[in-house]
Structure 1
Amino acid sequence: MPSETPWAYVFIRLLFRFVLKIFYGTIVVEGASNIPKTGQPCIVCANHSNSLTDALMLVTTIPPKQRNFIRLTAKATLFGKRTFTSWLIENAGTVPIARKKDYAAGESVDNTETMDKLKTAVEDGDAICLFPEGLSRYHPSVAPLKSGVARLISEVLTRNRNNPSFEISLQNCSVTYMHREHFRSDVLVTFHPPLTFSPKTHPELLEPVDFNDVRRLTAQMAEQITSGTFDSPSWDLTRVSKLAARMYAPLGTRMTLGDYVRVVRTFIEAFKTAESATIASAAGSDRDEAAHMSDDEKMSAETTELARLREDLRAYQDELARLGIKDDRIRRRPLARRTLLGRMILRLTWAVCLFTLSLPGLLLWTPVFITTVYAVHEFKKTGPIFDTFDEIAQYKLVYGFVSGLCVWFGATALSFPFSLVTFMLVPALMWMTLRWFEDAVSALRAFTALTRLLLVGKTTLRRMHWRRDGLHERVMKLAIETLGLPPDPYQYFLHNGGKEKGRVRGRWEMGSRYFSIKRRRKRDWNESLRLYDVVDYPKEDGQ
């Protein structure tokens, strides 16, 4: 029989569903119907790029009607501490896993008891959650998966080899953060079709097992997980691929977040192929130098063009960053000075109105912002980027939640004898303030962009426009002729895109949904609550 749902797990699910929806602007879930029902032995696996936030994301996005309880795992060093985080994970049925990196050299690490507990839980019909990368890190690529999950499946099948009806499902999941650490950015959670195993259908996984079969299963997991997220060898490649995706499907294309991620990933895979071919060609050229064979003879014309396009896109993005303008502003011909000034006045007026409307609520948000900014600033000092930036979202969630509760209950206590009204009014005011403040920042961001266009001047804008036209033609040729993407992205995604959160059809729905209390509809999946769009990433030492 599957385990009963711990009360702390229900509390965490409800609490952080609320907290995550505040921190992230849009959380889109795909394929939730693929998740095996409660009572079916199941292992849930996902990529791991955002520390404890990844586990919370899975807990809150897996529908309770599909699985009432997911048994989580966490590093053993999080247990036994007098912290809110430690208390939560211990009371939610989480299983501790010891990692060698967390202990002194030569100190033994034994997870035998933990693994036995996980095997028993799966056999009883529970779902357990594992992150086969083994650790979380701030990196653009998915780390090579460890073979532990495949070996666990093999051991469970072997223990039930005499039960012909026993089946275990492997539910792989891809979690894609547009900007994992930024407030009001977006998240895509994709649940892939599960892989099902039984002693009868997969006898090769019964002990004694050939480790090549374990490797093949691990490779199959990696292929499915990486197929739904960005898997880039460098931040630069991610940056260039996002630019190519924006050129192919510019602002105004009504794409779902899932469609956007898949388009960007398509460009990433294409540029990765060109990069690998270039490296291989260079190595071959060194070996065959005596034969006087040039790189062009080693590389196909298509690969050469891909490499050149990537370099040209990088240079173009660098120039945009230097000028402080966006590609979308270059897409159209330069606007007349009178038109720019008129739009600037309109955007600034709208921003001032929304900021004025937000002021009462911003007084409540100010302690929350100050607390989280200070906590994150101090935390960043504790280590290098790759080992700290993956925990920033976690710190913001916890400190923002605690400080928000202090503001809520503090305002309620100070407003006595009207505390009951204040208790209901404060969270409503803070939520609507956040909506107004987002729109105010968006309007101010547009005003800033228009100001920069005015300062850059028509000559430079015209030169950048011609340069973009050439790049756009090459990107469209790559997208349509090589990558097989639709030739008219606007019409294709308008009529074939999913009807899900983060996407609207038509002007009437776009206008009416503005007043929805559930979310703010974004025009650009690259947005966050900042005065600028995030197009660059922090660089690791030596990268």
Structure 2
Amino acid sequence: MPEGSSTPWAYFLIRLLFKFVLKIFYGTIVVEGVENIPETGRPCIVCANHTNSLTDALLLVTAIPSRKRNMLRLTAKSTQFGKKTLTSWLVESAGTVPIKRRKDFADGTADNSNAMAKLIEALELGDAVCVFPEGASRYHPTIAPLKTGTARIVSDTLSRNREQPDFEVSILTCSITYMHRQHFRSDVLVTFHPPLTFRPRDHPELLAPVNYDQIRLVTAQMHRQIAQGTFDAPTWDLIRAARIATPLYAPLGTRMSLGDYVRVTRTFLEAFKARRLPADPSSSNGETSDADQAETDEIIKLERELKVYQAELYKLGIRDDRIRRPLLRPVILYRMLLRLSWAVFLFSLSIAGLILWTPIALTTFYAVHSFKKTGPVWDTWDEIAQYKLIYGLVSGLCVWAGATLLTLPIAPVTAVLVPVLMWMSLRWFEDAVSAFRAFVALARLVRVRSATLARLHATRADLRARVLELGVNGLGLPEDPETFFVENGEKQKGRVTGRWAGRAKYFSVRRRRKRDWNETLRLYEQFDYPADET
């Protein structure tokens, strides 16, 4: 069996550096299906959905454990190469293979035969190569039709090794789901699916000369696997509705892992999406029964009313959980005092570290603000996280170096204490923001009239009953999610496991204890999907 290429020092450095940076930027990174990753020496093509530009590649590099693969050979658009920028240096130093996109070469000179040959050679050495089969990164709610390049690489590799009937090459599909891809301290789920494995002996239909229908069939298999692990919808509205349904089904405080949260939300999303599709003309002559039509109408009505309910909550500045469990005004005032006191205390603790964070925040804000002006939402938002990571890394290193130089007599101590202080101040500030966000929500709740709260409470009770009916009886979800996910849910990093575990892990370098996977480092709820194009 091939042993795989040796790991370049630049790749090792990039993986180590960005593993640290990504864990700072994202509050929780949960990786599922690590057991599905073929080990070093087994040729493998890693394919994932592509919505976050260079960040997707960095995430895959750090998500694949070094014990499984010593390196992941990346591909990137050719326009990233040959520039005097840190991004270009990172891309080239990691041994990345440039891919020419047709849209970048209007004169028709986009020839990738040399790139394909390099990828095939890497596979024959036993390497893992990374390909984003959508062909481009875009901020869209749906996965774009996959290019057939990956399946053609498999076919060409098998054809070159047809004399070795047991030669094996795998396609490892991966689904990347960002809760809020561009926001600081949000969460991300990386799911590796069981690999599609091909051998000359078992798949003679992929040997040259190959019927192109077989290439399309492999590509369709890849698309199904990637889509089944993430949010894939024709509009942002459908994703928004599904994410509103989930906390009604499994209310705040339910001990769900991030993977469970994504799967439940996707279940509702598929139900909403299915009712938007036209009837299958092959069944019942394309006719829809009265019962089916009534069910479709009810689901569409539920989707619409969920969005109306959330829009009213957003306008009032309160959360669904405050409607679920009404509080007496004295209790609200008491909790406001506690939340404000706790926020002030934590903010006071974090002031020293926040001074160090200020240059980093200002640098990234200016860079992102300027970048947003360069194009429309769909063509710029997918690169915001990349800009924040790169500019945050550079400015962070400058702050660390500057603090070390200014305290030269005790530089060895400062070099260690500055990162520790910055990390702990971030943790304290994150909790301070969370506490102040709760204080603001309670303050807004006081101003809402009792009649409005009563009406919203009744509306929520009706919506929850209908969501449970759909989820349990229509979609097969557990009847009692608050019990089910504690007893049977995925036991993985990021899962809230109770007060003792939350307190014991408070100083963990991995994450802050969260109750809601929608949290970010913001004073308001995030439902900031862009408006759907018309």
| TM-score, normalisation: structure 2 | 0.97
**Counterpart-to-counterpart distance in 2, 1:2 and 1:416:** 44
Picking from 60, 82, 85, the partner of 1:80 is: 82
Shift of 1:436: 0.1
Deviations 1:343-392 (A, max 9, x none): 00000000000111111110000000000000000000000100000000
Picking from 454, 457, 467, the partner of 2:449 is: 457
| In the alignment, structure 1 residue 482 sits paired with structure 2 residue 477 | no
**Counterpart-to-counterpart distance in 2, 1:279 and 1:183:** 43
Shift of 1:204: 1.1
Picking from 329, 332, 341, the partner of 2:322 is: 329
- Give the corresponding residue for 1:441: 433
- Contact between 1:157 and 1:205, CA under 8 Å: does it hold in 2? yes
SS in 1 for 2:307: helix
SS in 1 for 2:408: coil
- Give the corresponding residue for 1:291: none
- Give the corresponding residue for 2:312: 319
Aligned-pair identity (%): 63
| In the alignment, structure 1 residue 470 sits paired with structure 2 residue 471 | no
- Give the corresponding residue for 2:517: 525
Picking from 488, 492, 505, the partner of 2:484 is: 492
Alignment: residue pair count: 530
| In the alignment, structure 1 residue 68 sits paired with structure 2 residue 65 | no
Picking from 29, 43, 46, the partner of 2:45 is: 43
Deviations 1:120-146 (A, max 9, x none): 111111111000000000111111111
- Contact between 1:239 and 1:536, CA under 8 Å: does it hold in 2? no
User: What is the one-letter code of the residue matched to 2:94?
Assistant: A
Shift of 1:509: 1.6
Deviations 1:90-118 (A, max 9, x none): 11110001111112x32411111111111
- Give the corresponding residue for 1:130: 131
**Counterpart-to-counterpart distance in 2, 1:249 and 1:364:** 39
- Give the corresponding residue for 1:388: 380
RMSD of aligned alpha carbons: 1.8
- Contact between 2:28 and 2:510, CA under 8 Å: does it hold in 1? no
- Give the corresponding residue for 2:118: 117
Shift of 1:458: 1.5
- Contact between 2:257 and 2:496, CA under 8 Å: does it hold in 1? no
**Counterpart-to-counterpart distance in 1, 2:148 and 2:117:** 17
Distance 1:207 1:298, change over 3 A: farther
Shift of 1:498: 2.0
- Contact between 1:238 and 1:268, CA under 8 Å: does it hold in 2? yes
Picking from 14, 17, 36, the partner of 2:16 is: 14
**Counterpart-to-counterpart distance in 1, 2:97 and 2:531:** 34
User: What is the one-letter code of the residue matched to 1:165?
Assistant: D
User: What is the one-letter code of the residue matched to 1:14?
Assistant: L
Shift of 1:539: 2.3
Q: How does 1:140-179 map to 2 (within 5 A)?
A: 140-179=141-180
Unaligned runs of at least 5 residues, structure 2? none
Deviations 1:57-90 (A, max 9, x none): 0000100110001110001011111111111111
Unaligned runs of at least 5 residues, structure 1? 286-293
| In the alignment, structure 1 residue 501 sits paired with structure 2 residue 493 | yes
**Counterpart-to-counterpart distance in 2, 1:65 and 1:518:** 20
- Give the corresponding residue for 2:209: 208
- Contact between 2:54 and 2:383, CA under 8 Å: does it hold in 1? yes
| TM-score, normalisation: structure 1 | 0.95
User: What is the one-letter code of the residue matched to 1:388?
Assistant: T
User: What is the one-letter code of the residue matched to 1:302?
Assistant: E
User: What is the one-letter code of the residue matched to 2:273?
Assistant: K
- Contact between 1:239 and 1:535, CA under 8 Å: does it hold in 2? yes
**Counterpart-to-counterpart distance in 2, 1:416 and 1:508:** 41
- Give the corresponding residue for 1:301: 294
**Counterpart-to-counterpart distance in 1, 2:291 and 2:506:** 55
**Counterpart-to-counterpart distance in 2, 1:109 and 1:146:** 15
Shift of 1:279: 11
- Contact between 1:277 and 1:299, CA under 8 Å: does it hold in 2? no
